[in-house]
Amino acid sequence: MKLFRISLLLVTSMLFGSQIRAQENLSLKDAVTLGLSNNFQIQIAEKNTTIAERNNNWMEAGAFPSITAKASESINWSENNNPASFIQGRSTSTSTSFGADLNWVIFNGFKVHVTKAKLQQLQEQSEGNAAVVVENTIQSIILGYYNALLQQEKLKALANVVKVSSDRYDYVMAKKELGTASTFDLLQVKNAMLMDSTNFLMQELAYKNALRNLNMLMAVDVEKQYELTDELAHEKVVLSLDGMKEKMMSSNQTLKNQYINQVIMKKDAGIAKANLFPVVSFGTGISHSINGFDGTGLGGIKINSSGNTSLSYYANVSLSFTIFNGRKAYRAFKNLQIQEEISDLTTQEMELTLSNELITAYELYNARLTIMNLSDQSLETAELNLKLAEDKYKSGSISSFEFRDIQTAYLNTIATQLEAVFNALSAHTDLVRMTGGIVEEFNQ
């Protein structure tokens, strides 16, 4: 009896202890919202997007002139002891100048417009990469949340099994005290109860690990306690393979990013082509100088001049054209054209690969739906069989070994049914992500 009480107390405290410690309810939507606001990779992607947005302007593309300000001041001392020189002894000359230059490339093969278009694509690429991170984060949190629910439901099932084993141990102990059960029967029941308690402890560890993994995906304290409020359930969704293919081709974020890469390669080829054209630039500037001199001339005459100023300015138009440089610019242009063709081939390969993966995922989802339905029926049968077995065992119609086999089969059926539901949810989530609808579905 003492062993029974200890085991039952252990199971009860473990089953309800986590619920007592739980401080907050957590739905799946709350988990995703929390993860999207905290996830480190999303924050990094957002900062990269900010950089791309800042770079996407006409100034970065080179459409505007550059203005350079300049200023200088110099002081020179000299000592002249040549009797034939007009300047005798020590003299000082000063010069101060300041001005500004403006340089503006008027034409360079439309490179400015092509570069601006490329900067726009780079911004969209950065936003697309951030969108992929968001999609992956949502999918990971969904699977992490449902995995925690899966481990929780397994833990509850094992708690019920331990309770049944404890009740059976108590029942056989009472029979032994009355002399109607042998020590052998009691040892068999005791061994089964200890094994169930061990399995319960291992499952509780799996449940705690699943919760910590979910916390890590949400980027919160891994020891924070939540009570999961959603259920591990999935209703069959009617899906059209043709409709999903069409949606994937237009909405799959990875494929959309590859389309952007294609455009960027075209812009790179355009920039390289612009290097084959002449460059026309305009320059203008102004410079103001102030000069001074302090010294002694022949006959001891003092020479002191200051404030001598001069103002100069210029304007010019220049044209430069590379006639020959070993055809480097031409080869670079042709190489980028080949890179553009490679990008097109990569896109075609990606489209084919994603189509194959979509068909595989679609068939897997349908298979897992069928398995889930079959496991539901198996669980109903196993529950009824266990209930009948309990009555037969108490009436002595079956042995403890037979009852144990039925109990084990019931536990395995529960685990199979729960995993079938999780697998169906996982396959459906993968289909939604591949067709680019995971963010949209989450926002509904």
Q: In the predicted model, what is the mean pLDDT of the chain?
A: 86
Average the pLDDT over each of 11-15, 216-220, 290-294 and give the range with the smallest value: 11-15
Distances, alpha carbon 441 to alpha carbons 29, 92, 258, 433, in Å: 11, 82, 23, 10
The per-residue pLDDT for 9 is 47
Q: CA–CA separation, 360 vs 167, rounded Å?
A: 47
User: Does the structure show a pLDDT above 50 at 4?
Assistant: no
Please give the structure tokens belonging to residue 360.
């595989």
Residue 2 pLDDT grade (very low, low, confident, very high; cuts 50, 70, 90): very low
Quickly count: other Cβ atoms within 10 Å of residue 9's Cβ.
Answer: 10
Q: In 3-state terms, what secondary structure has residue 102?
A: strand
Run of H or E including 316 = strand 302-320
Report pLDDT digits (tens) over 415-433.
Answer: 999 999 999 999 999 999 9
Altogether, the residues listed in the chain come to a count of 444
pLDDT higher at 149 or 92? 149
**Nearest C-alpha neighbor of 86 from the set 299, 304, 308:** 299
Q: CA–CA separation, 305 vs 87, rounded Å?
A: 14
List the end-to-end C-alpha distance of the chain, in Å, as a whole number.
Answer: 54
Q: Which neighbouring-strand residues pair with 308?
A: 291
pTM as predicted: 0.81
Report pLDDT digits (tens) over 112-141.
Answer: 999 999 999 999 999 999 999 999 999 999
Q: CA–CA separation, 357 vs 363, rounded Å?
A: 10
Residue 23 DSSP label? -
Report pLDDT digits (tens) over 166-202.
Answer: 877 887 788 777 777 777 777 888 888 888 888 999 9
Report pLDDT digits (tens) over 400-417.
Answer: 778 888 888 988 999 999
User: Does the structure show a pLDDT above 90 at 372?
Assistant: yes
Report pLDDT digits (tens) over 9-33.
Answer: 455 454 445 444 546 899 999 999 9
Please give the single-letter amino acid code of residue 171: Y
Q: CA–CA separation, 265 vs 213, rounded Å?
A: 40
User: Does the structure show a pLDDT above 60 at 352?
Assistant: yes
Average the pLDDT over each of 8-22, 88-102, 139-153 and give the range with the smallest value: 8-22
Strand-by-strand arrangement of the 302-320 sheet: 66-80, 87-107, 279-297, 302-320
Distances, alpha carbon 190 to alpha carbons 14, 178, 368, 390, in Å: 20, 18, 38, 17
The per-residue pLDDT for 303 is 61
Residue 322 pLDDT grade (very low, low, confident, very high; cuts 50, 70, 90): confident
**Nearest C-alpha neighbor of 420 from the set 385, 369, 379:** 369
Q: At what angle do helices 111-178 and 400-434 cross, to 10 degrees?
A: 170
DSSP string, 102-167: EEEEEESSSHHHHHHHHHHHHHHHHHHHHHHHHHHHHHHHHHHHHHHHHHHHHHHHHHHHHHHHHH
- Category of 303 on φ-ψ map: left (φ > 0), alpha (ψ -120 to 50) or beta: beta
φ and ψ of 279, to 5 deg? -115, 125
**Nearest C-alpha neighbor of 353 from the set 238, 255, 433:** 255
CB distance 56 to 110 below 8 Å? no
Distances, alpha carbon 62 to alpha carbons 100, 127, 157, 276, in Å: 19, 23, 68, 18
Q: Quick one: average pLDDT of 53-61?
A: 93
Please give the single-letter amino acid code of residue 261: N
Q: In 3-state terms, what secondary structure has residue 232?
A: coil
Q: Which neighbouring-strand residues pair with 317?
A: 282
Average the pLDDT over each of 268-272, 287-291, 416-420 and give the range with the smallest value: 287-291
User: Does the structure show a pLDDT above 50 at 60?
Assistant: yes
Run of H or E including 228 = strand 226-228
CATH superfamily of the 233-277+326-444 domain: Outer membrane efflux proteins (OEP) (1.20.1600.10)
The per-residue pLDDT for 401 is 79
Average the pLDDT over each of 89-98, 109-118, 208-217, 391-400 and give the range with the smallest value: 89-98
